[in-house]
Structure 1
Amino acid sequence: MTRPAVPAARVPEAVHRRRWAILGVLMLSLLIVVLDNSILNVAIKTISTPAPTGIGAGQSELEWAINAYTLVFAGLLFSAGLLGDRLGRKKVLLGGLAVFGIGSALAAFSGSPGELIAYRAVMGLGAAFVMPATLAVLMNVFERDEQPRAIGIWAGGVGLAIAIGPITGGVLLDHFWWGSVFLVNVPIVLLAAALMLWLVPDSRDPSPGRVDPVGVVLSVVGLVLLVLGIIEGGERADFTDPAVLTAIGAGLAVLAAFVVFEKRSDHPSIDVTHFRNKAFSAAIAAVALVFFALMGVTFFSVFYTQSVRGYSPLETGLLLLPLAAAQLIFAPRARLLVDRFGNKATTTGGMLVIAGTLAAFASFDADTPVWLLETVFFLMGAGMAHIMTPTSVVVMQALPREKAGSASALSNTFRQVGGALGIAVLGSVLSAVYRDGIEDDLTALPAALHDTAGESIEGTLAVAARLGPRGDALIAPAHDAFLHAMHVTALCGAAVALAGALVVALFLPGRPPGPAPDGSAAEPAPVPVRGRSG
């Protein structure tokens, strides 16, 4: 009896044997990229406090401190993926880690909000070269049948970072100055680089694409102008202001020019032909929409727990543990639901859970039981795990193996853009509704304090503290105005998540194919994968 030929492994045996150790190093590199934002989420209230405790950053400056990172990250991700394909993913990973570490050290000693925003952009530059390379290396050291499991564990690393970040940030802020939340990245960078030099093999695309500098500039400029207009509109509580409309209109025009340029370019940053695949487009849209909703809600939840409920940064970090635990539990196991029910049902269910948890925030007040808050955070993490794992698999397996860096960059570009726009849009909704709600209580303040007090709840509470006993009358109205603004913002986030659920339900593939009539496994739907020899 002739045995069927067994396809040769595409991964060298020496690399195959240490593939799980390599995955651990990749997750450590991913950890610092995600850890930074999860730590910052806990620290934003402290940073907004006047010196010497913080640097007195206003709400718009806090939004820019977050978005300077995410916009540079998003704008450069695709080119960073291409450079990794061309120069070698290991080299690019090490270079990205070095830049990220330098940016972290500089951010730790920022003397003003402007400096912090600039150094956060440097960190985004480094992170742009780290994120796509980690997933590209993963796709090259694991065989195709193990890739979904490895991607699930890789996605679980995000949950680990979410767990470690807020608690680490809380401990650091309890014992050190606010800059320690950035300085902590430096030893992690050094450890990750040392392990990478020892364990991780280099890989590259034998036919890499060319870098697209014009596309990079157009995308970054367009996004910055769009976000600038959105944040300004929220700060002024007036989206009809000519300056706001001009910035938004210019941003949209530049982004339109970017799309036209990419269609005509022979080496585009984003190959728009990929979006002809409905499943691929739906997976990318789901990633963008869920991070739009989640990042915006994460931004206001810190002020809810610390400014309204009075929790410390460490207590806030501990409150987020259920969210992280759910991701750690469910992300590696989400593929089991995909195998049984398909990508469509699993991801749609995850989006509906996210929408429900965001809507739950609209019922929270200053005395909501902590167990209910913890339950919502746990469900939020579970929903996210059942979105990120299946959509990551769809995106990564839709492109050839050699283009893994580009696929990862494309997915993460839309994730970062979605998150940046979520912070800008939902943060602006929060700011505008809060300003409208607190305005009547600020009429007696001097003009110099009026604008500061109206920008955010932290601005109002800072002015109240400066006024002493006379300012006590502002505290209750500030809490009430913030809770109302949070309810409106949460419902907006829930509506976005519902839109994502609809997109996924319409366009993602359904259940995987069942067994063939002869009892063997049915062939999966064809995907354009080019194998390597050897």
Structure 2
Amino acid sequence: MAKNKSVAMDINGTPFSRSAMVAVLLIGTFAGVLMQTSLGTAIPTLMHDFDITLATAQQATTWFLLANGIMMPVSAYLSTRIPSKVLYIFAYLMLFAGMATTAFTPAHHDMWWMFLLGRILVAIAVGVTMPLMQVVMVNIFPAEERGAAMGINGIVIGLAPAIGPTLSGWILEKNHHFLGLTISDSWRTIFYLPMFVLALVIIASLFFIKNVIPNRKMKLDVPSLIISTLGFGIFLWSFTNVATDGWGDFKNVILPMIVGLLFIVLFVVRQLKLDEPFVDVKVFKNHQFALTTVSVMMAMMAMMGVEMMLPTYLQNVHTMSPLESGLTLLPGALMMGIMAPIAGSAYDKIGAKRLALTGFSILAIGTVPFLFLTASTPAHFITALYAVRMFGIAMAMMPLTAMAMSVLPPAEAPHATAANNTARQVASAVVVALLSSVTQNVISNNEPAKALSKTNPLQYGADYLDASMKGFHVSFAIGLGFAIVGIVVAMFLKGGAIKAAGYSNHKPVDPQMKEAE
């Protein structure tokens, strides 16, 4: 006999179209997450148009990461206190306002602050919508469909950041028109396209987004908010300084790293003492949740270990344009999008342990050839290897995320999501800083003397290329190391799909009742 499909209900017990709501959330959140990486290929253009240095232009990414990381712990309080429909519409409006602010910033170095303000608004909105979507998925899907739901969620988490550089590269190189209008500064179209989509999403939100997360009055613990903001903000800021200042810089790296850690420890201690914690860190007392969170961090760091360095390798060594390098990696990004829902559905049947072990193993095997890349390695070979890696990452990360949300009761979902996403954000910041600094250090230690560039330019070029390859190889080796650690951690996970009880925002369809969807 076929298993009855569930009908989603809001907190008032009214049936609604789950498919329509999920579609609106996916498209809206995708537009926001796209902003995280879309400016990577636009940095040179922004430097020229605003007449700013590389370090100043990089602030567009730095401030995004800081604001986004700070908001992750806050998301648990917001989703508990504010109705999900109101919170989503407000976040989407802020996202639109942020995009508009950056898109309409006058191209002058004195107005760069306005551009950064827009980036911060976008990051705050994404810091709300991305973790909130996971909490919503937990509340509107029954336990036996949780893996598939997290797989759909993975399309946003994995595909949007991966496709961002390719899309912006295409816009910068090909597209100077939008809705029949000629755009003088083509980088503005990077924001116009998502703004147009987001405007439609905001209208659809009024009709299709429902209140599905039970709310309760919860007093805002202001000291926790301040300590959390200072702790994660200063800690992440220290890592963003590593690439330019190096690990040995006490003022900009070591000191803020220590201060940030002290604030984070103070934050954790305070949460353990509060009756109503700002973020319930006790979720980490559940060993399976802690293990899955560590595993997700390893998958993220292993992914970044190659994903961050490959565009630089392709552009510097293979002399590709930003668009060409983006297109070379596009099949891998699409592989992530295709595999995310498939891997999530597989979790519902066989659990996370076997999938994670298989995924991490494929990831490790797919990373080994990167240790032997040369300046003459064919681009199609790199494309195939990258697709294999993204296949492994999707197979590991989506089931792990589903398991993390399933090992705890639904009342703790906001806190679990906040903790899981904060850990993911911290892992991303740490690995970016680690790989940037280590790679640059290896290149610096192996590059030829400047005098050789005058006496024997050809030899100098060959030696410098060799030094660059050594730096890339070390970066890829670190990525392989994270994949191996992921295999080890995954061995301690429980087998089979974890089915947490107590999810009430759905019920089986009555055979006599018309399907709500």
What band does the TM-score fall into relative to the shorter chain?
A: 0.7 to 0.9
Q: Among the aligned pairs, what percent are the same residue? A: 25
Partner of 1:99: 94
Instruction: Give, in whole Å, the separation in 1 of the partners of 2:188 and 2:463.
Output: 32
Instruction: Give, in whole Å, the separation in 1 of the partners of 2:108 and 2:471.
Output: 31
Instruction: Give, in whole Å, the separation in 1 of the partners of 2:30 and 2:356.
Output: 24
Deviation, 1:349, is 2.2
Which amino acid counterpart does residue 103 of structure 1 have in structure 2?
A: G
Greater CA drift, 303-312 or 429-438: 429-438
* Structure 1 segment 89-488 matched on structure 2, within 5 A: 89-108=84-103, 109=105, 111-112=108-109, 117-162=116-161, 164-174=163-173, 175-176=175-176, 177-207=186-216, 209-237=218-246, 239=248, 241=250, 244-335=253-344, 337-338=346-347, 341-438=350-447, 440-441=449-450, 478-488=464-474
Deviation, 1:390, is 1.0
Deviation, 1:376, is 1.6
Alpha-carbon contact 2:238-2:256 (below 8 Å) kept: yes
Select which of 499, 502, 511 maps to 2:496. Answer: 511
Deviation string for 1:208-267 (max 9, x for gaps)?
A: 544344333323323343344444444344526565432322222222222222222233
Which amino acid counterpart does residue 61 of structure 2 have in structure 1?
A: I
Select which of 489, 492, 498 maps to 2:478. Answer: 492
Deviation string for 1:360-401 (max 9, x for gaps)?
A: 333222221112211121112211211222122112223333
Which amino acid counterpart does residue 72 of structure 1 have in structure 2?
A: A
Alpha-carbon contact 1:77-1:129 (below 8 Å) kept: yes
Count of equivalent residues: 489
SS in 2 for 1:290: helix
- Normalised to the residue count of structure 1, the TM-score between the two structures is 0.81
Partner of 1:51: 48
C-alpha change, 1:79 and 1:236, in structure 2 (3 Å) is: closer
Deviation, 1:281, is 0.8
Instruction: Give, in whole Å, the separation in 2 of the partners of 1:471 and 1:191.
Output: 56
Instruction: Give, in whole Å, the separation in 1 of the partners of 2:464 and 2:431.
Output: 23
Partner of 1:521: none
Deviation, 1:55, is 4.3
Instruction: Give, in whole Å, the separation in 2 of the partners of 1:405 and 1:166.
Output: 31
Deviation, 1:478, is 4.8
C-alpha change, 1:249 and 1:151, in structure 2 (3 Å) is: closer
Greater CA drift, 391-400 or 187-196: 391-400
Instruction: Give, in whole Å, the separation in 2 of the partners of 1:88 and 1:39.
Output: 31
Deviation string for 1:122-157 (max 9, x for gaps)?
A: 221111121122233333333333332222222234
Alpha-carbon contact 1:45-1:303 (below 8 Å) kept: no
Alpha-carbon contact 1:237-1:436 (below 8 Å) kept: no
Is 1:68 aligned with 2:54? no
Deviation, 1:280, is 0.7
Select which of 494, 502, 515 maps to 1:529. Answer: 502
Is 1:87 aligned with 2:111? no
Greater CA drift, 392-401 or 354-363: 354-363
C-alpha change, 1:279 and 1:307, in structure 2 (3 Å) is: same
